[in-house]
């Protein structure tokens, strides 16, 4: 399992065990049934995260989803750096190391969820 996949598994586990993170997910989703976040890397291919208001809240799946809310295309190291806060999202957009297709505003809610999960893990 790659570090990026391990990070997703960490995030998913935290959301599944913490009521406050589950509420944050429900607030993020709002009136919709869920969100789909596609991640594409040259090293690991295509994966997507299904985010829903109810258990299991988040799932990581392999493959290409037909119409995700947002697609992140970059190498695994860049994505891991973005998700862990070590790399600035805007810098990767400017230098072309990250392509975002779709609703980039989903990134704010995802970043806030990741931050809350990481702060709760400390």
φ, ψ (nearest 5 deg) of residue 12: -60, -45
- Report yes or no on 33 lying in a domain: yes
Q: Tell me what pLDDT residue 34 has.
A: 96
Distant-in-sequence, close-in-space partners of 8: CB < 8 Å, separation ≥ 6: 47, 49, 60
- Report yes or no on 7 lying in a domain: yes
The burial of 51, by beta-carbon neighbours within 10 Å (0-12 exposed, 13-18 middle, 19 or more buried), is given as buried
- Tell me what the mean pLDDT of segment 86-114 comes to: 92
**Global pTM value:** 0.90
CATH at 17: 3.30.1050.10
Mean pLDDT, the chain, as a whole number?
93
The proportion of the chain whose per-residue pLDDT surpasses 70, expressed as a percent, equals 98
- Report yes or no on 42 lying in a domain: yes
| 95's tokens | 């230098």
**Comparing 121 with 107, which gets the higher pLDDT?**
107
- Report yes or no on 93 lying in a domain: yes
Domain residue limits at 16: 3-116
- Tell me what the mean pLDDT of segment 47-52 comes to: 96
- Report yes or no on 38 lying in a domain: yes
- Tell me what the mean pLDDT of segment 53-64 comes to: 96
Q: Tell me what pLDDT residue 122 has.
A: 57
Task: Compute the half-sphere exposure of residue 86: CA atoms within 13 Å on the CB side of its CA.
Answer: 6
Number of folded domains that form the chain: 1
């Amino acid at each position: 399992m790659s570090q990026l996949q391990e990070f997703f598994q960490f995030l998913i586990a935290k959301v599944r065990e913490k009521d406050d993170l589950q509420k944050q997910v429900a607030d993020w989703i709002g009136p919709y049934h869920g969100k789909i976040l596609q991640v594409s890397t040259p090293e690991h291919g295509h994966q997507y995260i299904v985010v829903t208001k109810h258990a299991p809240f988040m799932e990581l799946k392999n493959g290409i989803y037909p119409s995700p809310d947002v697609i992140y295309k970059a190498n695994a190291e860049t994505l891991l750096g973005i998700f862990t806060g070590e790399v600035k999202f805007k810098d990767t957009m400017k230098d072309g190391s990250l392509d975002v297709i779709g609703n980039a505003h989903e990134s704010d809610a995802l970043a806030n969820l990741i931050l809350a999960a990481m702060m709760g893990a400390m």
